[in-house]
C-alpha cells in the first residue's frame, strides 16, 4: 500500500513538472552551454559567485577573442551590470557575429534575457570555430618550430637518409653525363692537311654537332635590316658548299650508325634533306666501286651494310623533315608573338605620350592659377593695409563709442548666457526625472524577470515540498517496517514457549488475533488518509483548471485592451493632424 502511495506521488510530481516544460528546456540548454564552454576550456564558468548572464556573455567573448577577433568588452572588473550596460555589451557581440560569418542570428534582448534555446546554437558554432582556429594555430606553430629546428639540428637517421639520397643523385648524374657524352659517328678517309676552319667543320660533322643552332637562335633579330639578311644568306651558301665537300670525305662508323642523339638531330636539321640524300648517293657509289675492287665476299657484306645505312638515313631524313616543318611553324608563331608585343609596346608608348601631354597642360594651367592667386593676395594685402591705416588715423570719440557699444553687447551676451544656463539646468532636471520613470520596454523586461524569478521560486518550493513529502512517506514506511520487524521477532521468540502447553497456545492465539486487529485498524487509517489526499488532489486540480481559465480570459482581455488602445492612439493622431 505504501509503495502505491509513493508511486502516485511520483506520478503527480511528473505531471506538475510537465506544466513548466519551457523552464526545464531553458535550464537544460543553459546547462548544455556551460558544459560546452567547460569542454572548450572556459573554466571561469565554474565560478558559483558569477551570475548566469556573466557566464554566458564571458564565454561568448572568450570564444570570439580566441578566433582572433577583437571585442571592446571588459568583463574582469565590471560584473552584475545594469540593464542598459548589459544591452550595450550584447549589442557589441551581436554586431561582431556577422563579421565572423556566423550562420545564426540573435538579438541583444535574447542574450540579455538568457533565451538559452536561441543562444545555444550560436555558442556551439563559436566553440567549434575557436577549436578550429586553435588547431590551425597549433599546426602553424608546430611546423614553424620544426623548420627552425631543422635549420640548425638534425638526427642521425636523417643524416643517413640524406647521405643515401645524395649518393643516388650523384650516381644518376654520372649516368646521364655518360649517356649524353659526344660520340663519333663518322671519320675522314684521308689524312690530308686542311685549314683550321675546314678542320673545325669536319670535326663538327664527325660528332653531328648543331652547325646552324646559332643562326636559328638569331632568326628573330634578322628583321632589323635587309642588308644583313643578304650577307648571311651568302655565308650560308658558302658553308653548305664546304659541308658538301667535307661530307664526301667522311665514312660512317658501323657501331654508332644506328644511334641518333639530340645533338645529331639538331645538326641534321641544320643540313637540308637534299644534302643528306646527295651524301647517301655518294656513299652508295663509293661502296659499289670499292666492292668491285675488293671483290667476292667482302663486297657483298659491304654492300648490305651500305644499303642498311642508306635505309636508316632515309628514315632519318623523313623524321628530320617533319621536325624541320614543326620548327618552322614554331618560328612563325614566335614571329607573330614578337609583332604583337611590338604593337602593344607602341600602343603603350602612345598612351604614355598622350598622358604626359595632358599633364603638361595641367601643369601650365596650375602655374597660371598660382600667378593669378598671388596677384589677388597682393591686392587684398594692400586693401587691408589701407583700412588699417584709416583705423589708426581715426578720432578717439569713435573709439570710445565703439568701446561702450562693445561693453553693452558683452553684458547682453552674459545675461543671455545665464538665462541659457538656467534653462539647461531645468532641462537636465526634467530629463533625469523622465529617465527615472521606466519605459514600456523596461517595464516589460522587469515583468519578464519577475516572472522568471517567480517561476524559479515556485519550482524550488515545489521541489522542496516533494522532498518533504518523500521524507514523510519514507519515515512512515520505516516506522511500519520497524513495527512489523519487532512484531515478527516477538512472535518468533514466544512461539516455542507458547506451543509447549495448551494454555500457552491459546494465549498466543489471542495475542496474535489482537495483533491482526491492530494491523487492520492501521490499514484503515492509512486508506482513509490516502482517500483524503486524493480528494484534496482532485480539489486542487479543479482549482487549477479554474485559474488557468481565468488566466486565459485575462490574456484575451489584455490583448483586446491593447488593440483598442492602438486604435485610440491612431484616432487621436488623426484628430491632431492637419
Q: What's residue 100's pLDDT?
A: 82
Look at residue 90 and tell me if it is in a domain: yes
Number of domains, the chain: 3
Q: Are 209 and 75 in a shared domain? A: no
Tell me: pLDDT of 306 over 70. Answer: yes
How confident is residue 232, by pLDDT bands cut at 50, 70 and 90?
low
Residue 501 DSSP class? S
Q: What's residue 411's pLDDT?
A: 92
Q: Are 216 and 332 in a shared domain? A: yes
Q: What's residue 283's pLDDT?
A: 54
Compare 518 and 440 and report the one with higher pLDDT: 518
Mean pLDDT of 94-102: 83
The 3-state DSSP class for residue 490 equals helix
Look at residue 387 and tell me if it is in a domain: no
Mean pLDDT of 98-118: 84
Tell me: pLDDT of 16 over 50. Answer: no
Q: Are 135 and 227 in a shared domain? A: no
Mean pLDDT of 363-367: 88
Q: What's residue 268's pLDDT?
A: 47
Q: Are 192 and 114 in a shared domain? A: no
Q: What's residue 425's pLDDT?
A: 93
What does the H/E/C string look like for 390-432? Answer: HHHCCCHHHHHHHHHHHHHHHHHHHHHHHHHHHHHHHHHHHHH
Q: What's residue 545's pLDDT?
A: 93
Q: What's residue 48's pLDDT?
A: 79
Give the domain extent around 496.
Answer: 458-576
Mean pLDDT of 462-474: 92
Look at residue 221 and tell me if it is in a domain: yes
- Provide the angle, in degrees to the nearest 10, between the axes of the packed helices 21-40 and 2-19: 80
- Highest mean pLDDT range out of 21-30, 219-228, 279-288? 21-30
How confident is residue 244, by pLDDT bands cut at 50, 70 and 90?
low
How confident is residue 280, by pLDDT bands cut at 50, 70 and 90?
low
Q: How far is CA 393 from the centre of its chain?
A: 77
Q: Are 317 and 201 in a shared domain? A: yes
Which of 338, 357, 376 is a domain's end point? 357
Portion of the chain with pLDDT greater than 90, in percent: 16
Look at residue 140 and tell me if it is in a domain: yes
Q: Are 128 and 69 in a shared domain? A: yes
Q: Are 190 and 123 in a shared domain? A: no
Q: Are 328 and 196 in a shared domain? A: yes
Residue 73 DSSP class? -
Of the candidates 451, 347, 357, the residue with the CA atom closest to the CA atom of residue 20: 451
Q: What is the pLDDT of residues 164-190, one digit of tens each?
A: 777 888 888 888 877 777 766 666 665
Q: What angle do CA 259, 261, 264 make, to 5 degrees?
A: 105
* Sole residue written with cell 642508306: 310
Q: What's residue 291's pLDDT?
A: 45
How confident is residue 292, by pLDDT bands cut at 50, 70 and 90?
low
The mean pLDDT value of the chain amounts to 76
Compare 466 and 155 and report the one with higher pLDDT: 466
Tell me: pLDDT of 67 over 60. Answer: yes
Tell me: pLDDT of 423 over 90. Answer: yes
Q: What is the pLDDT of residues 380-403, one digit of tens each?
A: 898 888 888 877 776 566 777 788
Q: Are 199 and 130 in a shared domain? A: no
51-55, 101-105, 135-139, 197-201: least confidently modelled range: 197-201
Look at residue 181 and tell me if it is in a domain: no
Which of 115, 145, 175 is a domain's end point? 145
Look at residue 388 and tell me if it is in a domain: no
Tell me: pLDDT of 161 over 80. Answer: no
Residue 219 DSSP class? G
Q: Assess contact for 42 and 60: CB atoms under 8 A.
A: no
Q: What is the pLDDT of residues 441-451, one digit of tens each?
A: 888 888 889 99
The 3-state DSSP class for residue 78 equals coil
Q: What's residue 31's pLDDT?
A: 86
- 188: which strand partners? 250
Residues 6+ positions from 182 with CB-CB distance below 8 Å:
207, 209, 263
Q: What is the pLDDT of residues 452-464, one digit of tens each?
A: 999 999 999 999 9
Mean pLDDT of 32-50: 84
Q: What's residue 471's pLDDT?
A: 94
Tell me: pLDDT of 256 over 50. Answer: no
Q: Assess contact for 85 and 78: CB atoms under 8 A.
A: yes
How confident is residue 261, by pLDDT bands cut at 50, 70 and 90?
very low
Look at residue 303 and tell me if it is in a domain: yes
Q: What is the pLDDT of residues 554-563, one digit of tens each?
A: 999 999 999 9
How confident is residue 286, by pLDDT bands cut at 50, 70 and 90?
low
Q: Are 141 and 190 in a shared domain? A: no
Tell me: pLDDT of 577 over 60. Answer: yes
Compare 133 and 164 and report the one with higher pLDDT: 133
Which of 309, 329, 357 is a domain's end point? 357
- What whole-number distance in Å separates Cα of residue 282 and Cα of residue 207? 20
Mean pLDDT of 70-89: 65
Compare 330 and 284 and report the one with higher pLDDT: 330
How confident is residue 39, by pLDDT bands cut at 50, 70 and 90?
confident
Q: What's residue 424's pLDDT?
A: 93
Look at residue 400 and tell me if it is in a domain: no
- What whole-number distance in Å separates Cα of residue 455 and Cα of residue 466? 16
Q: Are 29 and 140 in a shared domain? A: yes
Q: What is the pLDDT of residues 513-563, one digit of tens each?
A: 888 888 889 889 889 988 998 999 999 999 999 999 999 999 999 999 999
Q: Are 191 and 137 in a shared domain? A: no
Percent helix, strand and coil across the chain, each to the nearest 5? 85, 0, 15
The 3-state DSSP class for residue 51 equals coil
Q: What's residue 439's pLDDT?
A: 76
Q: What's residue 241's pLDDT?
A: 63
Amino acid at each position: 500500500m505504501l509503495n502505491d502511495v509513493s508511486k502516485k506521488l511520483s506520478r503527480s510530481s511528473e505531471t506538475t513538472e510537465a506544466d513548466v516544460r519551457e523552464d526545464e528546456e531553458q535550464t537544460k540548454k543553459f546547462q548544455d552551454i556551460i558544459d560546452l564552454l567547460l569542454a572548450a576550456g572556459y573554466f571561469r564558468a565554474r565560478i558559483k559567485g558569477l551570475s548566469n548572464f556573466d557566464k554566458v556573455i564571458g564565454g561568448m567573448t572568450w570564444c570570439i577573442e580566441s578566433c582572433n577577433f577583437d571585442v571592446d568588452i571588459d568583463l574582469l572588473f565590471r560584473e552584475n551590470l545594469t540593464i542598459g550596460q548589459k544591452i550595450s555589451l550584447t549589442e557589441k557581440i551581436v554586431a561582431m557575429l556577422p563579421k565572423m560569418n556566423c550562420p545564426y542570428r540573435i538579438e541583444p534582448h535574447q542574450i540579455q534575457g538568457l533565451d538559452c534555446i536561441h543562444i545555444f546554437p550560436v555558442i556551439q558554432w563559436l566553440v567549434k570555430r575557436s577549436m578550429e582556429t586553435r588547431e590551425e594555430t597549433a599546426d602553424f606553430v608546430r611546423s614553424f618550430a620544426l623548420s627552425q629546428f631543422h635549420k640548425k639540428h638534425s638526427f642521425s637517421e636523417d643524416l643517413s637518409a640524406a647521405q643515401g639520397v645524395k649518393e643516388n643523385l650523384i650516381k644518376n648524374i654520372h649516368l646521364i653525363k655518360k649517356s649524353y657524352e659526344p660520340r663519333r659517328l663518322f671519320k675522314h678517309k684521308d689524312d690530308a692537311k686542311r685549314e683550321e676552319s675546314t678542320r673545325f667543320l669536319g670535326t663538327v660533322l664527325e660528332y653531328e654537332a648543331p652547325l646552324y643552332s646559332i643562326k636559328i637562335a638569331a632568326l628573330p633579330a634578322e628583321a632589323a635590316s635587309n642588308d644583313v639578311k643578304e650577307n648571311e644568306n651568302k655565308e650560308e651558301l658558302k658553308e653548305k658548299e664546304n659541308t658538301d665537300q667535307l661530307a664526301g670525305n667522311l665514312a660512317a662508323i658501323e657501331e654508332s650508325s644506328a644511334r641518333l642523339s639530340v645533338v645529331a638531330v639538331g645538326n641534321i636539321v641544320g643540313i637540308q634533306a637534299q644534302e643528306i640524300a646527295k651524301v647517301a648517293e655518294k656513299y652508295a657509289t663509293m661502296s659499289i666501286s670499292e666492292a668491285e675492287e675488293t671483290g667476292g665476299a667482302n663486297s657483298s657484306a659491304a654492300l648490305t651494310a651500305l644499303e642498311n645505312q642508306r635505309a636508316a638515313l632515309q628514315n632519318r631524313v623523313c623524321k628530320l623533315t617533319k621536325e624541320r616543318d614543326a620548327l618552322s611553324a614554331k618560328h612563325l608563331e614566335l614571329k607573330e608573338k614578337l609583332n604583337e608585343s611590338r604593337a602593344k609596346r607602341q600602343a603603350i608608348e602612345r598612351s604614355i605620350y598622350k598622358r604626359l601631354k595632358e599633364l603638361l597642360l595641367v601643369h601650365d594651367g596650375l602655374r597660371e592659377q598660382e600667378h593669378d592667386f598671388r596677384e589677388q593676395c597682393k591686392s587684398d594685402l594692400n586693401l587691408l593695409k589701407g583700412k588699417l591705416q584709416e583705423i589708426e588715423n581715426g578720432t578717439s570719440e569713435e573709439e570710445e563709442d565703439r568701446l561702450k557699444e562693445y561693453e553693452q553687447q558683452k553684458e547682453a551676451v552674459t545675461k543671455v548666457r545665464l538665462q541659457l544656463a538656467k534653462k539647461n539646468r531645468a532641462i537636465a532636471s526634467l530629463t533625469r526625472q523622465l529617465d527615472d520613470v521606466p519605459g514600456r520596454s523596461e517595464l516589460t523586461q522587469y515583468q519578464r524577470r519577475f516572472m522568471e524569478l517567480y517561476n524559479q521560486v515556485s519550482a524550488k518550493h515545489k521541489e522542496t515540498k516533494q522532498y518533504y513529502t518523500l521524507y514523510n512517506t519514507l519515515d512512515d514506511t520505516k516506522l511500519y517496517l520497524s513495527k512489523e520487524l519487532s512484531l515478527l521477532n516477538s512472535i518468533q521468540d514466544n512461539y516455542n514457549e507458547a506451543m509447549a502447553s495448551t494454555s500457552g497456545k491459546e494465549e498466543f492465539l489471542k495475542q496474535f488475533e489482537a495483533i491482526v486487529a491492530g494491523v487492520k485498524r492501521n490499514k484503515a487509517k492509512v486508506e482513509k488518509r490516502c482517500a483524503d489526499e486524493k480528494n484534496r488532489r482532485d480539489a486542487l486540480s479543479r482549482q487549477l483548471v479554474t485559474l488557468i481559465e481565468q488566466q486565459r480570459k485575462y490574456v484575451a482581455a489584455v490583448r483586446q485592451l491593447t488593440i483598442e488602445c492602438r486604435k485610440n492612439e491612431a484616432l487621436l493622431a488623426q484628430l491632431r493632424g492637419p
